[in-house]
Structure 1
């Protein structure tokens, strides 16, 4: 009997009974295998999608749009590199009236392009009025325009704004050289958000190839610590959802941060059904959690601000719960919908850890969403890291001097909306390093991936920041929504700068609509008049 007991203990210790977990001589417990669900993906994808237009997919005549491909050099700046790839672009020539109808090009950004912008929207309407031909070009390494088989670092080194602008220049030259009736045609560029930045930068680098441009919601100053973004998101939440909503959101997130640093952290994590790999004492885990919450509100503030009142409703509706419990219920709605809509195993959990966030950016095979590619550009060109920790801006003095006096003061004012004060610049620097440069010596790379701050400085030097944008106003018109979180790094004052009240990011791309505000429709009329006037000047 004693021998049999020893054999049984030996087998348990060797893990033969996989459903049991024990150390020899200790109580045997059942092992719980949790199915981890990563909720961060959905919100990141929302932030990187093509700016939405009102027209539904079913109402568009997609057969009017042709899908075409153009061979591009992999590296426009290395004469010894002969590798090429195929860039995807779309065309609608229904309204073309050669030989004088202009070329209208909507520039793609960090998304997969679709026929929508060639079938509806303000640029489409302008092109139709002036007998133009419409094109929509896809940015390298986004959508279906892939120069490589995956998003490995050795491939992404060919991803940059500078290479994308060279692609666009080659595209225009090829149109004029090979398309009938386009050799002497004027070229109008339009873009939104990052692609709006490309329009402005293209006008600076290739002035001979553009007649006029429209840059909607374009960020123009690269910077490391973009804390103004979440401040503006907080203001949008208050504006659309009411002060009660923004106040409860702010106090609730501060309370969550405090609880995570207390002995009651486990109760909060259990209530949210967080996976056991989350360490509340780890600042990177806490940063990932609050970054995820911030991304949720950023997506609404940036693209769906008209829906904020509805997402605020559960937060301000009276319940039988105390404030803390009610707020936890609210946070569940942010992270749980995917888990509740799909049939998972009984023991599922939400992975809100830093490792969960990192796993999204380290995936080299998921190509369509643009998540890894955009983060690569952030780490190597732009920064624009959306932080919430307290402290002064780290904007470079030259950037500050380029801003009006009122904005200089705003750069140094305390934040009203903290969103929990957990997302630091170091969190993003760590992510950049482990995702794209995991074998680097952290002591030698203070900013990770080399020094991000140097890359940011080089971007501003190359494209000129706000100073260059001011000089481009004879050729490019800039529009912003007053509520746009990106407005803080865009051109906000000038002769051909329009700020539209009560509107957010890229809200002016739709067709003129009498249901819109007077200010919105006046802004669109000004855009149309500006493009028309530049075309007339170019013709003389």
Structure 2
């Protein structure tokens, strides 16, 4: 099939990251684009000079009094908007990656800090970024990487900041976070309600689940959502393309497929073929998850490519074209490494602390699951990506069986309440396009059971970004509603403290 594509493929450079984890790379790109979007503002207003960086000493194991080992946890402070001495404290909780200056100088929570005279803080998650020990990635040390330990880190940090800045009950704390850190924001309020008065949890997957098949289902429904440029035809073409791809891999010339997608090597075995399929599916998943956030192309453009019948190209050939567009937009200039053996080797490397992939893989195995399978009839991609694709990695990397994974997930949901939380004054914000909303709280809440904002036509964590003229009306209204909720909490706290 490669010969047919001679006229379509004009660039010999390649496409995806060498680890084959496109979604992870897109998440990092999303972060960089956010930072770049406010770089001029940071420079012009000399905001860097207003940010203080420091470290707080944390116990490696908060739950073992006999273990005296510690590590240094990084944090950032911005006092520019703080109205001393009684102004509130807005805490941005770090997730599965390093924190940056962006977290205390830009974003919707920073806009709210300006309105309310708040002290801005950001705390990096243990074992990510620079908040690591020398042997952090060894499996025997990773046992101390958990959301439970992270919440106690937050409580220690609360005490540390309160002492350093001479804070009192008059300084109301509100926590903010998105995605995994959004879940941490909700859980911090639930487990330490005496420390944080209210919490905003954006795109927060608070329900752990081993087989997260809903992710692919929502990607499929979003690809046919006409409000964001999708169509039934788009999904049909995507399914057709992956069906042809799967047939070629199973019964045809897999070496020709490897050439079509410019793989670094021939597809040696079934695992390599699954890695290829997952990498290509990730492009569509990332397009939906970050729709209109500038990371890749929006759903409208992707579907226009997949449904373009002006040329003589088949759906499979248009899939190749999509990967070309991804390559040119993401700046990837190397071949696509789909070697399962190489990917496992990378994930077993215990010297690459800052990347975060091994740490996050451990957390999914030890607490959450979140494995994005695609085995049902509604799958828009390929059924080759099964649950065992992921659970085998838990066994290979950390020696965890699937039965152990099920036990870990059951504990997580019992400990936090899954999608039926019991904490008050937690605002769950979700986008209807975002596949992660399936594991969050999206129903209408009550004061006793939390509150919700659902934005039908926006994607992952869109509400957390800076305001843009291109923002949808629904997103602008959602930010206004978030602002009203935060204002009401602060007024309530002021009344309670008098």
TM-score in terms of structure 1 length: 0.79
C-alpha RMSD over aligned residues: 2.6
Shift of the 288–341 alpha-carbon distance from structure 1 to 2, 3 Å rule, reads closer
Alignment match of 2:230 (pick from 206, 230, 242): 242
Change (3 A) 1:534 1:328: closer
Q: Distance between the aligned counterparts of 2:319 and 2:463, measured in 1?
A: 36
Alignment of 1:73-472 (within 5 A): 73-182=59-168, 184-239=170-225, 240-243=228-231, 244-276=233-265, 278-279=267-268, 282=270, 284-305=271-292, 307-308=297-298, 309-318=300-309, 320-323=311-314, 326-327=317-318, 329-330=320-321, 332-333=323-324, 342=333, 350-390=336-376, 415=378, 417-437=379-399, 445=401, 447=402, 451-468=404-421, 471-472=422-423
Q: Alignment partner of 1:210: what SS?
A: coil
Residue matched to 2:493: 538
1:49 shift after superposition: 6.2
Q: Deviations over 1:385-413 (max 9, x none)?
A: 000012xxxxxxxxxxxxxxxxxxxxxxx
1:58 aligns with 2:40: yes
Structure 1, residues 313-370: CA drift from partner, whole Å, max 9, x if none? 443344654416623632652786699965x8xxxx6431322432332222222221
Partner deviation per Cα, 1:182-220 (whole Å, 9 max, x = no partner): 564111101111101001111111111111111111001
* Residues matched between the structures, number: 462
Q: Is the partner of 1:255 in helix, strand or coil?
A: helix
Distance 1:340 1:466, change over 3 A: closer
The gaps in structure 2 that reach 5 residues or longer are 1-15, 446-450
C-alpha distance 197-267 of structure 1, shift in aligned 2 (>3 A):
same
In 2: Cα distance, 1:328 partner to 1:518 partner: 32
Shift in CA distance, 276/532, structure 1 to aligned 2, threshold 3 Å: closer
Following the alignment from structure 2 to structure 1, what is the Cα–Cα distance between the partners of residues 150 and 473? 36
**Given the two structures, how large is their TM-score scaled by the length of structure 2?**
0.86
C-alpha distance in 1 between matches for 2:430 and 2:347: 30
CA contact (8 A) 1:49 1:112 kept: no
Q: Is the 8 A contact 1:48 1:369 kept in 2?
A: no
1:70 touches 1:88 (CA, 8 Å); kept in 2? yes
Contact 2:244 2:316 in 1 (8 A): no
- Matched residues in 1 for 2:308 and 2:230: separation? 13
Q: Deviations over 1:163-199 (max 9, x none)?
A: 1111001000112223234564111101111101001
Q: Offset at 1:132?
A: 1.1
Structure 1's 39 and 161: CA in aligned 2 closer, same or farther, altered over 3 A?
A: closer
1:269 offset after TM fit, Å?
2.9
1:525 aligns with 2:480: yes
Maintained 8 Å contact 1:513/1:521: no
Contact map agreement 2:20 2:336 (CA 8 A) in 1:
no
| Equivalent runs, 1:2-81 vs 2, <5 Å | 38=18, 40-41=20-21, 43-47=23-27, 51=31, 53=34, 55-60=37-42, 61-81=47-67
Choose the corresponding residue for 1:478, options 414, 428, 435.
428
**Deviates most, 143-152 or 319-328:** 319-328
Q: Distance in 1 between matches of 2:64 and 2:257?
A: 54
Q: How far is 1:373 from its partner? A: 0.8
- Residues 128, 367 of structure 1: CA spacing in aligned structure 2 closer, same or farther, 3 A cutoff? same
> How far apart in 1 are the matches of 2:25 and 2:17?
16
Deviates more, 1:230-239 or 1:157-166: 230-239
Structure 1 residue matching 2:56: 3-state secondary structure: strand
Partner of 2:460: 505
Distance in 2 (CA, whole Å) between partners of 1:119 and 1:340 is 27
Bigger radius of gyration among the two = 1
Q: Distance in 1 between matches of 2:143 and 2:211?
A: 23
- Pick from 429, 440, 444 the counterpart of residue 490 of structure 1: 440
5+ long unaligned stretches in structure 1: 1-35, 391-413
Flag the 1:486–1:328 CA change in 2: closer, same or farther, 3 A.
Answer: closer
Q: Secondary structure at the match of 1:261?
A: helix
Q: 1:278 to 1:339 in 2, by over 3 A?
A: farther
**Using the alignment, how far apart are the partners of 1:489 and 1:519 within structure 2?**
22
In 1, Cα distance between equivalents of 2:103 and 2:261: 40
CA distance in 2, matches of 1:356, 1:335: 23
Contact 1:388 1:424 in 2 (8 A): yes
| SS of the residue 1:213 aligns to | strand
- For residues 268 and 275 of structure 1, do their structure 2 counterparts lie closer, same or farther at Cα, with a shift above 3 Å needed? same
